[in-house]
Amino acid sequence: MKTYKSKIGLELAIPLSGLFVGLGSLMIYKGIYPGVAIVLVIFLLILHLFSTTRYKLDKNTLHIQAGFFFHQKLPITSIKKIIETRNPISSPALSLDRLEIVYNRFDSVLISPTDKMDFIAELLHRKPDIEVGLKRSV
């Protein structure tokens, strides 16, 4: 089984960090300590999400794991297309430098492996007829 961690994009990490630091600081300044606790718990959940989002390839399945809440198993035989994208919709991807995995007939999921080219090569090794659409050559 080969594991790829999610790329963490500064375009997502910096605004989230700024938001939590700002909210926490304001609540400490105003003496709203229950609010500080809530902000801290939410921050820790997001930190866990950032540290556990990964994509695992075994012989026949792509496992997508993101924190406590998201685990998806995708049969590699169902994958039709891989498209490079910067689509910002919610997904198990921690960067806007993403790959859209199109599978089954009309389903798709966005992911952001740190080494996209190796990830694509590994999928193509398992299923050579996957269509690949890259925006730029790397």
Mean pLDDT of 37-56: 94
Q: How far apart are CA 12 and CA 60, in angstroms?
A: 32
Residue pLDDT, tens place only, 87-98: 999 899 999 999
Give pLDDT, residue 136.
66
Q: Which of 79, 112, 82 is nearest to 4 (CA)?
A: 112
Residue pLDDT, tens place only, 14-41: 999 999 999 999 999 999 999 999 999 9
Rounded to two decimals, the pTM is 0.86
Residue pair 6/99 in contact by the 8 Å Cβ criterion: no
Give pLDDT, residue 138.
47
User: 2-133 is classed in which CATH architecture?
Assistant: Roll (2.30)
Q: How far apart are CA 85 and CA 135, in angstroms?
A: 8
Helices (H), 1-138: 10-30, 33-52, 116-126
CA 57 vs CA 31, 33, 78, 84: distances in Å: 48, 44, 14, 19
